[in-house]
């Protein structure tokens, strides 16, 4: 076990420092590159906080849909192959719900400020 601060706390501290102390002093294209870097740090923070739980839930949904076990990558590959062969489609019970939830979980990490995502969750 590592002592505090946690990885998430360290990343957040760096992003906050860059946002509040460095951003006001940077202009032009370097300011843009700095914002890209800060956004990447924010994304990593969300990934650390949310990915494990959403990956576990996604794998559980896929196991139920497909009736097989495997890693998340294997299950997604199996679903993709079944869709490509026409064995499953949006009429398949649970598929559209799975796809929707997976999309929402990915947006929570990648683009939580996306207007449609915020509208869906009333944020």
Closest C-alpha to 58, from 101, 109, 120: 101
Cβ(79)–Cβ(92) below 8 Å: no
How sure is the predictor about 123, in pLDDT bands with cuts at 50, 70 and 90? low
Q: Which residues contact 13 (CB under 8 A, 6 or more apart)?
A: 5
Residue 96 placed within a domain? yes
Residue 72 placed within a domain? yes
Query: What is the residue-wise DSSP string for 74-94?
Result: HHHHHHHHHHHTTS--TTSTT
Residue 57 placed within a domain? yes
Residue 2 placed within a domain? no
Q: Which residues contact 90 (CB under 8 A, 6 or more apart)?
A: 96
pTM for this prediction: 0.81
Res 117: pLDDT: 83
How sure is the predictor about 97, in pLDDT bands with cuts at 50, 70 and 90? very high
Residue 79 placed within a domain? yes
Q: What is the pLDDT of residues 4-56, one digit of tens each?
A: 899 999 999 999 999 999 999 999 999 999 999 999 999 999 999 999 999 99
Residue 23 placed within a domain? yes
Res 92: pLDDT: 97
**Average model confidence (pLDDT) for the chain?**
94
Residue 94 placed within a domain? yes
Res 116: pLDDT: 83
How sure is the predictor about 1, in pLDDT bands with cuts at 50, 70 and 90? low
Expressed as residue numbers, the domain containing 82 is: 7-120
Q: What is the pLDDT of residues 46-74, one digit of tens each?
A: 999 999 999 999 999 999 999 999 999 99
Residue 90 placed within a domain? yes
CA dihedral 55, 57, 63, 64 (to 10 degrees): -160
Structural domain count, the chain? 1
Helix (H) or strand (E) holding 15: helix 7-17
């Amino acid at each position: 076990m590592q002592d505090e601060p946690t990885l998430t706390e360290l990343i957040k501290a760096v992003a906050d420092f860059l946002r509040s102390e460095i951003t006001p002093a940077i202009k032009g294209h370097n300011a843009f590159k700095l914002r890209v870097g800060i956004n990447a740090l924010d994304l990593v923070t969300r990934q650390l906080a949310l990915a494990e739980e959403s990956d576990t839930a996604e794998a559980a949904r896929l196991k139920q849909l497909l009736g097989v076990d495997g890693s998340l990558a294997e299950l997604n590959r199996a679903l993709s192959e079944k869709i490509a062969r026409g064995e499953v489609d949006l009429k398949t019970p649970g598929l559209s719900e799975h796809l929707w939830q997976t999309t929402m979980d990915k947006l929570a990490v990648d683009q939580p400020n996306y207007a449609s995502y915020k509208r869906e969750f009333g944020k």
